[in-house]
Structure 1
Amino acid sequence: MKLELRGITKVFGTFVANDSIELVVEPGEIHSLLGENGAGKSTLMNVLYGLYRPDGGEILLDGRPARFGGPGDAMRAGIGMVHQHFMLVPPFTVAENVVLGHEPTSGGLLDLASARRTVREISSRFGFDLDPDAVVEDLPVGAQQRVEIIKALSRRAEVLVLDEPTAVLTPHETDELMDIMRQLRDEGTSIVFITHKLREVKAVSDRITVIRRGKVVGTADPSTDQTELASLMVGRAVELSLAKEPAAPGEIALSVRGLSLEDAAGTAVLDGVDLDVAEGEVLGVAGVQGNGQTELTEALLGLQKDVRGSVRLGGQELVGRSTRQILDAGVGFVPEDRTHDALVADFSVAENLVLDQHHRAPYGSGPVLHPAAIRERATREVGEYDVRTGSIDDPVSTLSGGNQQKVVMARALGRDLSLFIASQPTRGVDVGSIEFLHRRIIAERDKGTPVVIVSTELDEVIQLADRIAVMYRGAILGVVPADEDRDVLGLMMAGYTVEAAREAVAAGARTTDSQLVDEGEIA
């Protein structure tokens, strides 16, 4: 199916989100829509999917005008969409989610057998390996995304919109998704790939359209240089590598000894973790997602109970303290899941910027808030962090994912800190904002703050860190310099000790952060 958008305009109050946008997606093409967060990419696709009605322009499918009163009309016309935040019912099974709203019946009763067959057929066709009876909330995010794709394909989508589909995926899951996209394209499905990640765009696209502040500013070929694409997105020259001075570490500020934690089944998710972080240095924590990084950051913040071991900050023991006490001790925290753990969706941007300080002067006294101080802080931080919002009074849920992340980072870095911990600090953030946030993290380091960064993006860890700790199955396999060979880091993420990884690389072994080896000298 050929998709054409002609002069699409969408206005919210005085804000022009889409300004006469022209876009053509050919049959069997992966067409990437590249732009900063807040550029208008998702708004445009929500117009296409019938979630918004355009204020101008028209949609054509195979040359015929189409008007959608809602997503149901779009789906019937052959448009499918996988949203950045999945539209799934967690307690339902895969089969139940796939047919939700379009339930097959037999004799007036729900025909779940038919739903299971649909899931098995599509799973087999694309190698998804999904159990129709698996409960969605028990699935990893990569598998949940496949459920969303099956939903769209089960309704015979000929144009599939993927809105920031890799924002919550590991590198390996991202590679798997790209393989799926290529297979869909080869079978004739048109794909609109919304993203801000230059490497992914170059790897999978047939054509690229760049949007900036609601307007199309250019089209490009996948062979286009990353720096040129970044400049088109942002409207200025962008440094894709982080320039920083060498660290000048001071005294050890954070000392972790024997930190251990078991899950409900009695399995060790933290296994005797020992770490030291000095004033004025960044310790990067690398590892494949699910190897204890989340539990480590939560244990440091007092969010995990039944933790054994010691966490001393400036000589003061943190284990046993409440999360509020730890935050009040000057710990800034950016959790990996901003939607569930960092923001209150219905609260305003201004309110979210003081969530961890609303009980303290100047923002509040006990239960009484001080609105003027809260608004002053919000106005300052929104300007400083370039948060794209119509008003500081808008619900934070109305912001794009990247702008929500800026709010979280601004809140954590907007006060004097004794320790800064960030898990996936730039997840879902565009290239221009990544540059800015990375500079802010290094500026915090240069103030003398000890910094702990956890990221599944190995490039990010290497750029930010002064030293790198590699986690595997809840344990620290080793701490290495930031200029350690990338292949050594990859092998350590697969379970090699430092020494074994270096020997293997010296002998010619190679790995990448998206395809880790499954065998070797495991720690």
Structure 2
Amino acid sequence: MRQDAVEMRSITKRFPGVLANDRVDFVASCGEVHAIVGENGAGKTTLMNVLYGLHHPDSGEIRVFGQQVRILSPRTAIGLGIGMVHQHFMLIPAFTALENIILGQEPVALMLTDYAKAENQLSDLCERVGLQVDLHARVADLSVSSQQKVEIVKALFRGARILILDEPTSVLAPSEAESLLMMLRRLADEGMCIILISHKLGEVMDYSDRVTVLRQGRSVACLETRKTSREELARLMIGQEKEPTTCPPSARVGRPVLRVSNLHVVGKNGVVAVIGVCFDLRAGEIVGIAGIDGNGQRELVEALVGLRFGKGSIFLNDIDISHMCVRRRLDAGLSYIPEDRRFALIPDNRIEENIILGLHRLPPFSHFGLLREDAARRFAERLIEEYEIRAAGPRMVTRLLSGGNQQKLVLARALHCRPKVLVACQPTRGLDVGSTAQVHQRIIEARDLGAGILLVSFDLDETLLLSDRVMVMFRGRIVRVLTRQEADREKVGRLMLGAVE
């Protein structure tokens, strides 16, 4: 019989206007992968933040390896053998991978950090768990998947026997996600307790031993994975059956609304990241960009929206925007959903303030240079209802929203003005099944209203589902453009790895 690694009983956690966890019970054992699923705002991340010491419960009891504990901070949690890899990584970009991993745990010789000893220890650890990490690379220069590996090694270096991962595959290519999940499976087989927060029910079914379902802050079920199904989990999460999203091909494709010619873009490290990219995006179509993270997608998007300048030309509705600033591009009809919602929101501002960002200078929100708060509030109330954002009201502080509801807020702001071109990066990152379907439907509706949609997603299934055409990027170049009929998972996967046919 497996030993219980974590036992949480009747955990309650409140924030202003929000009951995040309502008497939640959760038990995870050594030697298992235990998944936690639920809609956005169901309390999954909050519960794990309580276990990791980032939040203190208002009531309830926690036992770790059978011992009742009070976890006052992450330092306490680490001392108990608990590690956590957050959805948004907690790394210092200017430090190397090695410096990030050993920070606060540095081996010392003669009162100085013994980097040689640290490197030997980390090399042995990486080899044991099957992770390849460039210990001397600056974190700022690493891909998202490599940064995630750094976070995992950091937790293991600190002696984690309980490892929590929050949406670990949300930004990974399919092959990278599979490698990560297989590694987690091996760690569990060696006796570790792996707690996996995920919205990807296929991964939950394939790799977990048990699954706990949260709904509206309460635990509604704890099931053996082999005795349940994706359909049952989806029903338990949302309280009803959910119809799968379908995306019929575009019925009316118009003239080009975005034309990119011979675009070259230099990346952060001075290396050319985008090489001679040319494409057209037409009104009324969705063009997906497929590629493993780090092949120039991020730099291409930054050049399109004005965050990074490159050589070449970019035309929006026959207007050369190549040298325009971000604001002028937005005024010309471009809308943008950033890959990381933290760069789209001001966390300590109210929802009503965030939802009019970029519009606050315009009527009806501005009158003789003064902000009309009543207009902003009415606008926020309408979009909260329309996009089903779970919030206490428009005056709620944005950081108190769950990650998924923050993502809905960003989407609502990007789509409400009916843009000519929408650049959507990871639009469903961190969203549950129901919310993902809502976002997909909104994107399809925007396409059918005549917008050109450029979709950048590391979820290949999402790209294939929504796209009328798929452009595959490899090492900064577009290696192939496929129609909906030509694009299948196997063919696109080969092209993503550089197999040019």
With normalisation by structure 2, the TM-score equals 0.92
CA apart distance, 1:362:
1.8
CA apart distance, 1:234:
1.6
Q: 2:142 aligns with which of 133, 139, 155?
A: 139
CA apart distance, 1:247:
2.4
CA apart distance, 1:108:
4.2
Aligned to 1:411: 413
Aligned-partner residue type, residue 271 of structure 1: I
Aligned to 1:304: 308
Does residue 291 of structure 2 align to residue 287 of structure 1?
A: yes
Aligned-partner residue type, residue 241 of structure 1: T
Aligned to 2:398: 396
Q: 1:316 aligns with which of 307, 311, 319?
A: 319
Gaps of 5+ in 2: none
Aligned to 2:158: 155
Does residue 55 of structure 2 align to residue 52 of structure 1?
A: yes
CA distance in 2, matches of 1:438, 1:38: 19
Name the SS of the counterpart of 1:336 in structure 2. Answer: coil
> What does residue range 330-479 of structure 1 map to in structure 2 within 5 Å?
330-339=333-342, 341-364=343-366, 368-479=370-481
Aligned to 1:202: 205
Does residue 256 of structure 2 align to residue 252 of structure 1?
A: yes
Q: Is the 8 A contact 2:15 2:400 kept in 1?
A: no
Amino-acid identity (%) = 44
Q: Deviation string for 1:360-389 (max 9, x for gaps)?
A: 222235853222222222222122212223
Q: Deviation string for 1:146-197 (max 9, x for gaps)?
A: 2222222223222111122223333332222212211211211111111111
Q: Deviation string for 1:177-227 (max 9, x for gaps)?
A: 212211211211111111111121112101111111111112333343322
Name the SS of the counterpart of 2:394 in structure 1. Answer: coil
CA apart distance, 1:289:
2.1
CA distance in 2, matches of 1:36, 1:69: 28
What is the number of equivalent residue pairs in this alignment?
496
CA distance in 2, matches of 1:268, 1:107: 43
Does residue 49 of structure 2 align to residue 38 of structure 1?
A: no
CA apart distance, 1:267:
4.8
Tell me which moved more, 449-458 or 264-273: 264-273
Q: Deviation string for 1:465-500 (max 9, x for gaps)?
A: 122222223332332221323322222223344xx2
Aligned to 1:169: 172
CA apart distance, 1:40:
0.4
Aligned-partner residue type, residue 294 of structure 2: G
Q: Deviation string for 1:90-144 (max 9, x for gaps)?
A: 2223333223234444454444444333322311211223344433223222222
Q: Is the 8 A contact 2:334 2:422 kept in 1?
A: yes
CA distance in 1, matches of 2:268, 2:16: 50
CA apart distance, 1:50:
2.0
Counterparts in 2 of 1:276 and 1:105: CA distance versus 1, 3 Å: closer
Aligned-partner residue type, residue 288 of structure 2: G
With normalisation by structure 1, the TM-score equals 0.88
Gaps of 5+ in 1: 501-523
> What does residue range 185-196 of structure 1 map to in structure 2 within 5 Å?
185-196=188-199
Q: Is the 8 A contact 1:299 1:307 kept in 2?
A: no
Tell me which moved more, 293-302 or 265-274: 265-274
Name the SS of the counterpart of 2:225 in structure 1. Answer: coil
CA distance in 2, matches of 1:273, 1:138: 22
